[in-house]
Amino acid sequence: MKAKKYDTESKLSQDELAEIKADMSREKEGSFVDLIWRYAKKYWVRSVVILVAITIAAISVAITPVITQELMKVAGNIIDPPVGPGQPPLPPGDLSSTTTGTWGMTWKQLVGLAIGAAVVDAVFVFISQYLAAMLGKQIEIDLRNEAVEKLIEEDMSYYSNKKIGDILTKVVSDTQIVGDQVAIVPVTFLNAVMTLIISLIMMFVVEWRLTLITIAVFAIVALGMGLSFAPLRKLNMKLRRTVTSLNGDVIDRINTIKLIKANGTERYEEERFNQLHKKFYDQAYDFNLAQALLITFLFVGINSVQVVVTIAAGLIYQNNTKELAVLVPTFIVSVQILIGPIMSLVRVMVGVLQASTSSRRMHAILTAPVLFNNRYRSQDGIDIKSLYGNIIFKDVEFAYPEKPHQIVFPKFNFTFEQGKSYAFVGETGSGKSTVSKLLLRFYDPTRGEILINNNINLKDVNLSSYLDHVGYVEQEPAIILGTVYDNIRYAKRDATDAQIIAASKKAKLHDLVMSWPDGYNTILGERGFMLSGGQKQRLVIARIFLKDPQLLILDEATSALDNIVEKEIQEQLDELMVGRTSITIAHRLSTIKNSNLILVLAPGKGVVEKGTFNELKNRPGLFQNLYEAGKTE
Ligand SMILES: Nc1ncnc2c1ncn2[C@@H]1O[C@H](COP(=O)(O)OP(=O)(O)OP(=O)(O)O)[C@@H](O)[C@H]1O
Q: Which residues of 134-155 are buried (b: 16+ CB within 10 A; e: fewer)?
A: ebbebbbebbbeebeebbeebb
User: pLDDT value at position 87?
Assistant: 60
Burial class, 246, CB count within 10 angstroms (exposed 0-12 / middle 13-18 / buried 19+): middle
Residue 251 makes CB contacts below 8 A (sequence gap 6+) with 163, 164, 165, 168
What one-letter code names the amino acid at 230?
A
Q: Please identify, by atom number, the ligand 1 atom nearest to the C-alpha of residue 157.
A: 1
Q: Is the CB of 526 under 6 A from ligand 1?
A: no
User: pLDDT value at position 225?
Assistant: 80
Q: In CATH, which of 1.20.1560.10, 3.40.30.10, 1.10.10.10, 2.60.60.20 is domain 15-80+94-367?
A: 1.20.1560.10
Q: How far apart are the first and last CA of the chain?
A: 47
User: pLDDT value at position 91?
Assistant: 56
- Looking at the domain 473-548, which fold is it? Rossmann fold (3.40.50)
- Encode pLDDT of 232-275 as tens digits: 878 887 888 888 888 888 888 887 887 888 888 888 988 888 88
- Whole-prediction pTM: 0.72
CB neighbourhood size of 430 (10 A) = 22
The bridge status of strand 391-399 relative to strand 597-602 is unpaired
The single-letter DSSP state of residue 219 is H
- Encode pLDDT of 194-228 as tens digits: 778 877 887 787 788 888 888 888 888 888 888 88
Helix (H, G, I), strand (E, B) or coil at 79: helix
The bridge status of strand 456-457 relative to strand 606-611 is unpaired
User: pLDDT value at position 373?
Assistant: 67
User: pLDDT value at position 19?
Assistant: 52
CB neighbourhood size of 235 (10 A) = 19
- Tell me, in angstroms, the distance from the centre of ligand 1 to residue 427's CA: 11
Q: Where are the domains of the chain?
A: 15-80+94-367, 391-469+578-632, 473-548
- Encode pLDDT of 224-236 as tens digits: 888 887 788 788 8
Q: Is the CB of 400 under 6 A from ligand 1?
A: yes
The single-letter DSSP state of residue 557 is T
Question: Mean pLDDT score of the chain, rounded to an integer?
Answer: 82
Burial class, 491, CB count within 10 angstroms (exposed 0-12 / middle 13-18 / buried 19+): buried
User: pLDDT value at position 46?
Assistant: 92
Q: Is the CB of 431 under 6 A from ligand 1?
A: yes
Burial class, 76, CB count within 10 angstroms (exposed 0-12 / middle 13-18 / buried 19+): middle
Q: What is the DSSP string of 408-451?
A: EEEEEEEEE-TT-EEEEEESTTSSHHHHHHHHTTSS--SEEEEE
Q: Is the CB of 525 under 6 A from ligand 1?
A: no
User: pLDDT value at position 398?
Assistant: 93
Nearest of 188, 230, 195, 173 to residue 36 by alpha carbon = 188
- Flag residues of the chain having pLDDT under 50: 1-12, 23, 26-27, 632-633
User: pLDDT value at position 11?
Assistant: 47
Q: In CATH, which of 3.40.640.10, 3.40.50.300, 3.30.1240.10, 3.30.70.20 is domain 391-469+578-632?
A: 3.40.50.300
Q: Report the residue among 408, 559, 608 best suited for mutation to probe ligand 1: largest number of ligand atoms under 8 A from its CB.
A: 408
Q: Please identify, by atom number, the ligand 1 atom nearest to the C-alpha of residue 601.
A: 21
Q: Is the CB of 476 under 6 A from ligand 1?
A: no
- Identical fold between 15-80+94-367 and 391-469+578-632: no
User: pLDDT value at position 10?
Assistant: 40
Burial class, 71, CB count within 10 angstroms (exposed 0-12 / middle 13-18 / buried 19+): buried
CB neighbourhood size of 130 (10 A) = 13
Helix (H, G, I), strand (E, B) or coil at 333: helix
